[in-house]
Amino acid sequence: MNYILKDENAIYYECGYSCDNAVYLHLGSEAFFITDSRYTIDAKEHVKKAKVVIDGDLYGRAVTLLKKARVKKVAFDPKEWTVAGFEKLTSGTKVLFKPELDLSHKKRIIKSNEELKIIAKAAKLGAKAFEKLAKEFTLNGFGEHEFTLTHKAKTILGGEGKYDLSFDPIVAINANAAKPHATPTHKKLKKGDLLLVDAGLKYKRYCSDRTRTVFADQGFVFKTVQHFGKKKIQKAYDTVLKAHDRAIQKARSGMKAKEVDALTRDFIEKAGFGKYYVHSTGHGVGLDIHEMPYISSRSDTLIEDGMVFTIEPGIYIPGAFGIRIEDMVAMVDGKAKVLSGN
C-alpha cells in the first residue's frame, strides 16, 4: 500500500526517527523521509529503511516524488493533517488520496516483543516515580495547593529532566477529583483529604499511564489498599478497586473490547454507582498516550495477545469526590498482565 504520514509518532514507528517538520512517503518498495536542513544530521544518523530527503518545501518535494513514482492512489489519515497542509499537498498532483482513519494506529495495535519490553520499562519507571512522589507529598505536600503539587509531580515523574511526560499530570483533591480530567486549583492539601494522581512518563518514546487515589495522611503511599475516614468514600473506593481487579483477572484474548468494558461497568452498576462511571474502562497505550484498542462499551475490537491498554474504572460524584484506579496491562498468553509489576 502507498501511504503518506505527517504525525511524528506514526513516522517514528516506520523509520525510527521523527521531528516536528517531516513527511514520510511509502511508495511501493521505496520510502522517503522528507525534512528540512535543521534535521539533516540527526535524520541521516537515525532514519532506518527510508531515504532521507532534505528540502525546505516538504509538500512540494512530496508532490515531485509522487509524480516520479507515477502512483495513482495514496492512503492518508485525515486526523494527521491540517486543511491548509493537505490542500497544499493535493493541489500539485492528480494522485487520488484515499482517507484511512487511524492508519498508523491500526498498524501499531499489536506490540512487538521489543515494544512490550520498552512499555513495561516505562510502566515500572512510572510506578517508582509514584513511590517518590508519595514521599515528597508526605514530607512537603501538606499545605500546598494543587498547582504546586502538580509542579512537584512533573519534576519527579520527569526525573528532573531525564524523561518526557506522557501528559500533564492530574493532581486533584476531594471535589476536584470528581472531574476525570481535572485541572489544578488553589485547593490546598491537608491531612485526611482524598488525593487523586494520574500521571505517566515516556521511556524511549513509549508512554506509561497510572492513576492512584489515596487517603492523604502522614506516611501515605500510592497503593491500591486504602482506608478512608468516611464510609461513603470507602464504599465507592472498594467498588472501584474490585471492578479494577475483576477486569484484570477476567480479561481474555478473544473477547471483544466491550466485553472487557462490561467487566468493570456491570460491577459498578450493580453496586449502585453506575451513573457516576462516566468514561470507558480503558485505552491503548504506546507511542501515543491514547491509541487503539479502546476498551469501551461501543467497541467490537477483538482483544489479542500483544495488545497494551489501561484498566481504569472510576466513580465521580460531583461536588464531593472522585476515585480512579488505573494500571496498564499487556495481553500475554491470553491473559492480562499488569506491566508495572505491582
- What amino acid is encoded at 110 in this protein? I
pLDDT at position 312 is 98
Q: How far apart are the first and last CA of the chain?
A: 42
Please write the tens of the pLDDT for every residue from 218-234.
Answer: 889 999 999 999 999 99
Greater model confidence, 88 or 296 = 296
pLDDT at position 340 is 86
pLDDT-derived band at 342, boundaries 50, 70, 90: low
Structural domains of the chain, ranges and CATH numbers in brackets = 3-107 (3.40.350.10), 113-338 (3.90.230.10)
pLDDT at position 218 is 86
How confident is the prediction for the chain on average, in pLDDT?
97
What is the distance between the alpha carbons of residues 163 and 171, in angstroms, rounded to a whole number?
19
Tell me if 281 sits within 8 A of 245, measured CB to CB: no
- The CB density around residue 100, as the number of other CB atoms within 10 Å, is 15
Angle at 312 between CA 207 and CA 251, to 5 degrees: 95
What is the distance between the alpha carbons of residues 170 and 173, in angstroms, rounded to a whole number?
10
Percent of the chain with pLDDT over 70: 99
Tell me if 314 sits within 8 A of 247, measured CB to CB: no
Query: Cell numbers at residue 245, please?
Result: 481487579
Phi, psi angle pair for 193, to nearest 5°: -75, 155
- The pTM score is 0.96
User: Per-residue DSSP letters for 192-243?
Assistant: TEEEEEEE-BEETTEE--EEEEEEE-TT----S----SSHHHHHHHHHHHHH
pLDDT at position 160 is 85
What is the distance between the alpha carbons of residues 201 and 207, in angstroms, rounded to a whole number?
6
Pick the closest to residue 145 from 212, 210, 195, 192 (CA basis): 195
Q: In what order do the strands lie in the sheet with 22-27?
A: 51-54, 30-35, 22-27, 3-5, 73-76, 96-99
Average of pLDDT values for 189-215? 98
**14-23, 84-93, 282-291, range with the lowest pLDDT:** 84-93
Average of pLDDT values for 145-169? 96
Tell me which residue has cell 484506579. 325
pLDDT at position 101 is 97
Average of pLDDT values for 194-216? 98
Percent of the chain with pLDDT over 90: 96
What is the distance between the alpha carbons of residues 339 and 204, in angstroms, rounded to a whole number?
16
What is the distance between the alpha carbons of residues 287 and 101, in angstroms, rounded to a whole number?
17
Q: How far is CA 279 from CA 128, 157, 220, 324, in A?
A: 27, 25, 28, 11
**82-86, 267-271, 316-320, range with the lowest pLDDT:** 82-86
Angle at 120 between CA 244 and CA 256, to 5 degrees: 45
Residue 305: helix, strand or coil by DSSP?
coil
What is the distance between the alpha carbons of residues 47 and 37, in angstroms, rounded to a whole number?
15
What is the distance between the alpha carbons of residues 272 and 270, in angstroms, rounded to a whole number?
5
Task: Give the single-character DSSP code of 326.
Answer: B
- Label the pairing between strands 96-99 and 73-76: parallel
Residue 310: helix, strand or coil by DSSP?
strand
